[in-house]
Chain A
Amino acid sequence: MTTLAPVKPSTAPPTGPRRQAVIDGMPRPGMPERIVKGIFLTVISALVVVPFVAVISTSLATPEEVNRAGGFVLFPKHGIDLSAYRSIFAGGTVTQALLVSGFVTVVGTTISLVLTCTLGWALSRRGTLGNKPLLMLVLVSLLFNPGLIPTYLVVQQFGLLDSLWSVIVPTCVSAFNVIVVRSFFTGLPAEILDAARVDGASEWKMFRHIGLPLSKAVVAVVGLFYGVGYWNSFFSALLYLNDSAKWPLQLVLRTYVVNGVELGGQDLGIGSESLPPQTTIQMAILMISVVPILCVYPFIQRHFAKGVLTGAVKG
């Protein structure tokens, strides 16, 4: 038993041949396998990247090139033309929709983060009055969906129909995100909170000055999920907003890009003589709805696993 010589850990650096025969316990992949994997990953990555490149290129290509290609341009060879973007930002329908989407996203994400973090914090304070029943209410709500028509009736009853708040309020607290934030708060070292309490910190001070600063990563990921949700929200706008002046970008995108309704000079707020080809305008609209996500994505991406896994594993 104890007389056995200690077994040399097999993860120790290999000796002998320069190339390891076994990596992490798996035999080193042979050449055929590496080639197959390389091709497989290149193909699926290209399936994602190429359409985006084509969208960007078409939105920037000159009208002559777009007309010659019959629609889609993969690489603009004849210079860049920003007229599609100029016409979008000229103050017409699309500009209006951008403002609406921006408002909904900024205000909505702020409200969502405040409500989610405060509720998550309160639920993480075990042993307080009503903690268990409240937590149960949140968890059980994950198991069912109240249904399309009953939700519509409630939004109507609260007088939110045709108001931008209908796109924000009903979905502003996601029970799943509450659980993610809560499980992160629960994992904070109790000693810090105890020390703060001894020093006379109020509940709000502990939340604001200890809980939140220590949970920046998870708050960032949850914020991204909310932000993307609001920016992309399409169905609640379709359901609750009849007035097309209040349409967010996604509804404009559906009407003019998916359904292919022509955008005239009047809709854009410019003279129709200087109108770029429809495809170019469509791709430019598509681009401006993708760009904000592309801008935030790299900063938050490395925290994804944290946000997704705390929820899935501990929820």
Chain B
Amino acid sequence: MEHTASERPAARGARRRRSLSFGARLLRDYPVLVLAIPGMLIILAFQYYPLYGNVIAFQDFQPYLGIGKSLWNGVQNFAVVGNGDPEFLNAVKNTLILTLIQTVIVFPAPIVVAITLHTLLSNRLRQLVQSILYLPHFMSWVIVVAIFQQVLGGTGMINNWLRSHGLDPVHIIGNAEAFRALLTSQVMWKDTGWATILFLAVLSQIDRSLYEASAVDGSSRWQQILHVTLPGLRPIIILLLILKLGDSLSVGFEQIILQQPAVGTEASEVLDTYVYNNGILGGAWGVSAAVGLVKGLIGLALVLAANKLAHRLGEEGIYRG
């Protein structure tokens, strides 16, 4: 991330000046610090300061008493994680299933689309398709859910067509059994196109001579994709999988909250909605904060572990250290 000092005269100058006293540096650099302060304050207030609020995971928290006066109750709130509370286990189960689906089905989809787009001969056509496919990414979940209802719902486009042709309507919206498939198709509709952007950038950087060499050796297009394109995508695939792992316990919160009333919690409760429903709505602040804390720590541990594993496999990962 940092350039070497020799590339940048400014940085070299800065190193020399480092022998200045703190006061002198403050006097010299205060205009820079003034520019940094407003943004830093927001990050400190809403990203770091809330971490302190996690102490309510160890409290019998009462909103009217606040953190200062609520009573401590040790690790009692964490009992729900350990003692097999059925609601909690159901949320864990749904979360893990959705994570699995998102890794196995949702994640590879943009790679396929990106390779298809990359091998198009016409630039203009490629740009047209790209602009169409990026668009849903900028729609809110409310819009996406509303559009899916209009298309797949009981009186939606597809069912109207089926009825007018004398066929049986399909029951998808509000059907607990089809809920996972619905969530998956919504995620794919919204973000598959957008996710191609990174893969396309990497594809355009693959060394052309590799393709040429393999063509000389008589590779077909399919063999080239298998032996040149996919290995070229390997680092970015691993990087994105690591980042995804850290987020793996957060599966489609807004999307699920919006559709939960229609299908019930049995099929739709995940860890995030569990925290929201029991904490903010249900008033079980301490227990929800405990679940949120455990979830956050597992996510962090997963990123760090995956990063280490990537290094073992000889990849860059997200950081070195």
Contacts and interface: CB of A to CB of B under 8 A. Distances in A.
B35 A25 contact: no
B280 interface: yes
A203 B113 CA distance: 45
A298 to B, nearest CB: 8
Interface string B2-29: 1100001111011101100010011011
A175 B47 contact: yes
B258 interface: yes
B289 A190 contact: no
B254 interface: yes
A156 B113 CA distance: 44
A151 B22 CA distance: 35
Interface in A193-223: 193-194, 202-204, 207
Given A115-B38, A126-B10, A172-B42, A29 B116 contact: no
A130 B44 CA distance: 15
Interface string A27-60: 1010001000100110011011101101100100
Interface string A174-195: 0100100001001000100110
B275 A141 contact: no
Contacts of A25: 208-215, 224
A254 B46 contact: no
Nearest to A144: B300
A259 B138 contact: no
Interface string A109-152: 00000111011111101111111001001100101111111111
A190 B8 contact: yes
B216 to A, nearest CB: 9
Contact of A127 (B18, B46, B146, B246): B18
Contacts of A72: 150-151, 155-157, 160
Interface string B176-218: 0000000000000100110001100100000011111111000
A297 B138 contact: yes
A245 interface: no
A207 B34 CA distance: 13
Contacts of B288: 148-149
Contact of A147 (B40, B211, B259, B296): B296
Interface residues of B, number: 110
A49 B136 CA distance: 10
A146 B51 contact: yes
Interface in A49-98: 49, 51-52, 54-55, 58, 69-72, 74
A48 B142 CA distance: 16
Contact of B43 (A45, A138, A203): A138
A118 B35 contact: yes
A154 B46 contact: yes
B146 A258 contact: yes
A192 to B, nearest CB: 11
A305 interface: yes
B56 interface: yes
A312 B8 CA distance: 23
B311 to A, nearest CB: 17
B50 A118 contact: no
B52 A22 contact: no
A284 interface: no
Interface SS of A by simple majority: helix
Interface in A249-299: 250, 253-254, 257-259, 282-283, 286, 289-290, 293, 297-298
Nearest to B11: A126
A258 B198 CA distance: 32
A204 B36 CA distance: 12
Contacts of A305: 197, 201
Interface string B230-274: 000000000000000010001001100111010000000000100
B150 A51 contact: yes
A223 B197 CA distance: 19
A44 B50 contact: no
A138 B180 CA distance: 36
A141 B39 CA distance: 13
B220 interface: yes
Contacts of B147: 51-52, 55, 286
B129 interface: yes
A34 to B, nearest CB: 8
B265 to A, nearest CB: 17
A170 interface: yes
B289 A147 contact: yes
A13 B39 CA distance: 52
Contacts of A165: none
B131 A26 contact: no
A129 B33 contact: yes
A308 interface: yes
The 10 closest A-B pairs by CB, nearest first: A127-B14, A25-B211, A119-B39, A150-B53, A232-B140, A122-B36, A203-B31, A146-B50, A25-B212, A150-B50
Given A23-B121, A130-B33, A235-B254, 12 more contacts: A45-B133, A71-B150, A114-B38, A121-B35, A147-B50, A150-B56, A153-B50, A154-B49, A190-B10, A253-B143, A254-B142, A304-B197
21 contacts: A22-B212, A26-B215, A29-B221, A37-B119, A70-B155, A119-B35, A122-B33, A127-B14, A129-B26, A134-B40, A147-B54, A147-B292, A148-B276, A148-B292, A149-B288, A154-B45, A156-B63, A228-B138, A232-B143, A234-B140, A258-B146
Interface of B: 1-3, 8-11, 13-15, 17-18, 22, 25-26, 28-29, 31-33, 35-36, 38-40, 42-54, 56, 63, 67, 113, 116-117, 119-121, 129, 131-136, 138-143, 145-147, 149-151, 155-157, 160, 163, 189, 192-193, 197-198, 201, 208-215, 220-221, 224, 246, 250, 253-254, 257-259, 261, 272, 275-276, 279-280, 285, 288-289, 292-293, 296, 299-300, 303
